[in-house]
């Protein structure tokens, strides 16, 4: 399988997490998210001489936000798994459309002793995918129907979940990913000015994502290894 070479350069417009990215374990809500992150994991594996310090592993939890948390907690209770992934950053990748008590789930995630990073998207992961093509806005990008329609329009064909070909088209050579990161920062700043934080105000933050924080770090690490 041929992978288009990803141009990892990203102008550093905002301060990112100070720690270097290394090994990352992602518990993903569904297969679409797994396919998205496997794109980068495969690039890293094929260029192991340059990216020896990087490792991205995705595991599907196949459920909503609560089920992602339950799966991760159970997975890491296993001594073999905990030992294997003890040095990995642990991310929960999920949508905020379910369950209804999403704020409680967020609190439980953040309270876990497993020190999760929440790579969330509101309303759904396709919101993050749409950001690769346009600046999403609360006025028109806050429903599943509209997000699906806009994504299909941008792709020039109907969007379907868990389609590796569509994911590769969305990411391309990395230019659209840099667009998505910039678009996410615009939303981040907008909500910050309103003093909204996802831990307590997620229902008022649609569209919104934190996936860009991880992707920004991945690109920066790849850039520094060139």
pLDDT digit string, tens, across residues 75-93: 999 999 999 999 999 999 9
Question: In which domain, by residue range, is 201 found?
Answer: 23-224
- pLDDT of residue 17 exceeding 50, the answer is no
pLDDT higher at 36 or 16:
36
Per-residue model confidence (pLDDT) at position 6: 45
Which of these, 30, 36, 25, 39, lies nearest to 222 by C-alpha position?
39
Name the DSSP class of 203.
G
Q: What distance in Å separates the CA atoms of residue 18 and residue 216, rounded to the nearest whole number?
A: 12
Residue 11 lies in a domain: no
Which of these, 139, 162, 140, 166, lies nearest to 154 by C-alpha position?
166
Q: Using 50, 70 and 90 to split pLDDT, how confident is the model at 4?
A: very low
Domain count of the fold of the chain: 1
Note the pTM of the prediction, 2 decimals.
Answer: 0.90
Q: What distance in Å separates the CA atoms of residue 60 and residue 35, rounded to the nearest whole number?
A: 10
Per-residue model confidence (pLDDT) at position 225: 73
Residue 6 lies in a domain: no
Cis peptide bond N-terminal to 207, omega within 30: yes
The answer to whether the beta carbons of residues 203 and 183 sit under 8 Å apart is: no
Mean pLDDT is lowest, of 4-13, 32-41, 163-172, 200-209, for 4-13
SS3 per-residue string spanning 94-139: EECCCCCCHHHHHHHHHHCCCCCEEEEEECCHHHHHHHCCCCCCCC
Residue 3 lies in a domain: no
Helices 175-193 and 211-224 cross at an angle (nearest 10°) of 130
Which of these, 27, 31, 39, 30, lies nearest to 176 by C-alpha position?
39
Q: Is 197 helix (H, G, I), strand (E, B) or coil?
A: coil
Q: What distance in Å separates the CA atoms of residue 110 and residue 198, rounded to the nearest whole number?
A: 12
Residue 125 lies in a domain: yes
Residue 196 lies in a domain: yes
Q: Using 50, 70 and 90 to split pLDDT, how confident is the model at 14?
A: very low
Among residues of the chain, what percentage have pLDDT more than 70? 91
Angle at 186 between CA 3 and CA 19, to 5 degrees: 65
Residue 1 lies in a domain: no
Per-residue model confidence (pLDDT) at position 212: 98
Residue 102 lies in a domain: yes
Per-residue model confidence (pLDDT) at position 11: 37
- pLDDT of residue 7 exceeding 70, the answer is no
Among residues of the chain, what percentage have pLDDT more than 90? 82
Residue 9 lies in a domain: no
Per-residue model confidence (pLDDT) at position 5: 43
- pLDDT of residue 111 exceeding 70, the answer is yes
Q: What distance in Å separates the CA atoms of residue 78 and residue 215, rounded to the nearest whole number?
A: 28
Per-residue model confidence (pLDDT) at position 10: 37
Q: State the average pLDDT over residues 91-107.
A: 97
- pLDDT of residue 12 exceeding 70, the answer is no
Q: Using 50, 70 and 90 to split pLDDT, how confident is the model at 19?
A: low
Q: 173 burial class (0-12, 13-18, 19+ CB within 10 angstroms)?
A: exposed
- pLDDT of residue 222 exceeding 70, the answer is yes
């Amino acid at each position: 399988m041929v992978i288009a070479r990803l141009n990892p350069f990203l102008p550093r417009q905002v301060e990112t997490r100070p720690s270097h990215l290394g090994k990352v374990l992602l518990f993903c809500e569904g297969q679409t998210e797994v396919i998205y992150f496997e794109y980068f994991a495969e690039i890293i594996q094929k260029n192991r001489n340059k990216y020896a310090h990087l490792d991205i592993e995705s595991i599907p939890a196949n459920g909503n936000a609560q089920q992602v948390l339950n799966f991760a907690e159970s997975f890491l209770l296993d001594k073999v798994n905990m030992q294997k992934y003890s040095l990995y950053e642990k991310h929960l990748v999920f949508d905020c459309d379910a369950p209804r008590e999403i704020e409680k789930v967020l609190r439980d995630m953040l309270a876990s002793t497993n020190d999760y990073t929440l790579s969330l998207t509101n309303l759904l992961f396709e919101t993050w995918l749409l950001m690769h093509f346009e600046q999403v806005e609360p006025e028109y990008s806050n429903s599943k129907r509209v997000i699906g329609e806009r994504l299909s329009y941008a792709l020039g064909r109907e969007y379907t979940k868990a389609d590796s070909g569509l994911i590769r088209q969305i990411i391309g050579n990395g230019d659209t990913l840099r667009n998505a990161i910039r678009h996410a920062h615009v939303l981040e700043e907008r909500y910050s000015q309103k003093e909204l934080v996802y831990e307590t105000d997620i229902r008022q933050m649609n569209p919104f994502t934190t996936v860009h924080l991880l992707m920004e770090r991945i690109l920066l690490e790849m850039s520094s290894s060139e």
